[in-house]
Chain A
Amino acid sequence: MSAELILRALGFTLTATCVSFVLAALLGALVAAARRGPWAPLRWLAIAWVSVLRGVPPLVWLFVAFFGINLGQAKLTALTATILTFSLVGSAFLAEAYRSGLDSVSRTQFEAVSATAMPAWPGFSRVILPQALPVSLSAAGAYLIHLLKDTALASLIGVQELTFITNDAVQRGSNGFTAFLLLGLAYLALSVPVALAARTAEAKLRKRWAVAA
């Protein structure tokens, strides 16, 4: 296995993870906003969105997306299908992460924002968000690690990411035990820093927005 091949595979794994996570974070925010918004049909839509996307194995969604998308070159399509799948599935998980954060903020805080005549955005960003974010962030960090590992599923539709090339090497005669053990270590080498970063970010937020100085 060439270093170039491994780096390219690592690139696929990281691209699928990071791009999906960013898109999921943005889309999830819209879903969470709809979920708490004043319009009942949008609320139902948000509930349905979360239930449907989370209620089906990501692998099934991946196959649906892969076989459903019939555009362009095969390699690009597989990666696009992967990103599309994990952005949508991730939006459901992250919408729930945001929701758990918002639910952790007392109703009286929303009342205090109202009673002091603060407009919606500053009230949300200066008062509600600092209380909700640490809770949401810890759920989101857990999901990011989950997502990193789930991108291994993309090997099944031919994305040449880390799991794909490992499996390929084993098919060509490499020692399966050693190869997959190394793959496991590679995922650990990626997920441990992510976990640490998430924990550090959460700790920083909690410190910055501490309830006691």
Chain B
Amino acid sequence: MSTISPPVTALSVTGLAKSYGPLEVLKNVDLDVARGEVVAIIGPSGSGKSTFIRCLNRLEEPDAGTVMLDGAGLAPSLTSKELRALRRKVGMVFQSFNLFPTHTALENVVLPQVHSLGRSRQQAEARARELLAKVGLGERADHKPAQLSGGQQQRVAIARALALDPEIMLFDEPTSAIDPELRVEVLRVMRDVAAEGMTMLVVTHEMNFARQVADRVVFFADGTIVEQAEPAAFFASPQHERTRRFLAAVLEEEL
């Protein structure tokens, strides 16, 4: 997807570490992501991949390591103002959608624009309608989350995150909580977002998405990056035993 050359680094992570008590969830993780690059992060559950992306928008506070966004380093502990500035640049889509249940789809997309970016109600609504149409839910703008399917809710959540015009989008297992036949529509939207040049980090169990959409596949196990490569090479000839075992199990399941 990244046709821009030379590649500009959008995100640079060095030595990221995080423990919960005695449990080391992340051990010295390094990762550079180029602008416009789509990185699929795969690995067994408990490998630290979700914690990793949650450290990038500081829903989790890392214990050590540096994160640079667009060449600017983030302080180890941020003020609430700095946190908000970070989260305007780094959007997130959650496994369980986390839409605001008392608001309509439209309001879900409008509210953050008004309160986080200071857009006028009118501007925000116009942008929200445009984004909802883009994710195929123009007709559902006035529905509440509970009246939407999982796939539809997740598409609203993607629109909500995109509405802040982020530079990077994080996806934390975006299709894991969705009925298999409804995942396609979410994956299609993610494909469109990737095609428009968005920098994306996608924690996923969707091997087809990793294979077809990602520029690079990163394999996490036991809190570290075991292996990474562009998808064709990654799936054709995994280098590490741990990766081979994981792929054997996952691909077996997919058949």
Q: Does B160 contact A (CB under 8 A)?
A: yes
Which one of A7-15, A42-50, A108-116, A192-200 contacts B? A108-116
Q: Say whether A118 contacts B80, CB under 8 Å.
A: no
Q: Say whether A210 contacts B144, CB under 8 Å.
A: yes
- Give residues 121-150 of A contacting B (CB, 8 Å): 122-123, 126-127, 130-131
Q: Which residue of A lies closest to B80 (CB)?
A: A120
Closest CB-CB distance, A137 to chain B, in whole Å?
Answer: 14
Q: A111-B59, A117-B88, A213-B144 are in contact. Are A131 and B112 (CB under 8 A)?
A: no
Q: Does A60 contact B (CB under 8 A)?
A: no
Which one of B18-26, B35-43, B92-100 contacts A? B92-100
Closest CB-CB distance, A75 to chain B, in whole Å?
Answer: 47
Closest CB-CB distance, A127 to chain B, in whole Å?
Answer: 5
Q: Say whether B116 contacts A117, CB under 8 Å.
A: yes
Which residue from A116, A120, A209, A212 sits with its C-beta under 8 Å from B112? A116
Q: Say whether A211 contacts B144, CB under 8 Å.
A: yes
Q: A127-B100, A131-B101, A131-B102 are in contact. Are A114 and B147 (CB under 8 A)?
A: no
Q: Say whether A126 contacts B115, CB under 8 Å.
A: yes
Q: Say whether A115 contacts B92, CB under 8 Å.
A: yes
Q: Say whether B87 contacts A211, CB under 8 Å.
A: no
Closest CB-CB distance, B103 to chain A, in whole Å?
Answer: 8
Which residue from A111, A117, A210 sits with its C-beta under 8 Å from B102? A210
Query: Which of B111, B143, B145 counts the most chain A CB atoms within 10 A?
Result: B111
Q: Which residues of B contact A109 (CB under 8 A)?
A: 98, 100-101
Contact with B along A170-213 (1 / 0, CB 8 A): 00000000000000000000000000000000000000011111
> How many interface residues does A have (CB within 8 Å)?
22
Q: Which residues of A contact B161 (CB under 8 A)?
A: 115-116
Q: A211-B144, A212-B146, A213-B144 are in contact. Are A115 and B100 (CB under 8 A)?
A: no
**A117 and B78 alpha carbons, distance in the complex (Å):** 13
Query: Which of A112, A116, A118 counts the most chain B CB atoms within 10 A?
Result: A116
**A127 and B108 alpha carbons, distance in the complex (Å):** 10
Q: Say whether B84 contacts A126, CB under 8 Å.
A: no
**A210 and B161 alpha carbons, distance in the complex (Å):** 23
Q: Say whether A116 contacts B87, CB under 8 Å.
A: yes
Q: Say whether B102 contacts A213, CB under 8 Å.
A: no
Q: Which residues of B contact A116 (CB under 8 A)?
A: 87, 111-112, 116, 160-161, 164
Q: Does A119 contact B (CB under 8 A)?
A: yes
Q: Does B104 contact A (CB under 8 A)?
A: yes
- Give residues 112-127 of B contacting A (CB, 8 Å): 112, 114-116
Q: Say whether B144 contacts A117, CB under 8 Å.
A: no
**A123 and B115 alpha carbons, distance in the complex (Å):** 8
Name A's B-contacting residues (CB within 8 A): 108-109, 111-112, 114-120, 122-123, 126-127, 130-131, 209-213
- A sample of 5 cross-chain residue pairs with beta-carbon separation below 8 angstroms, ordered by A number, consists of A111-B59, A115-B94, A117-B85, A213-B104, A213-B147
A-B CB proximity, top 6 nearest: A116-B112, A112-B98, A117-B116, A117-B87, A122-B115, A209-B102
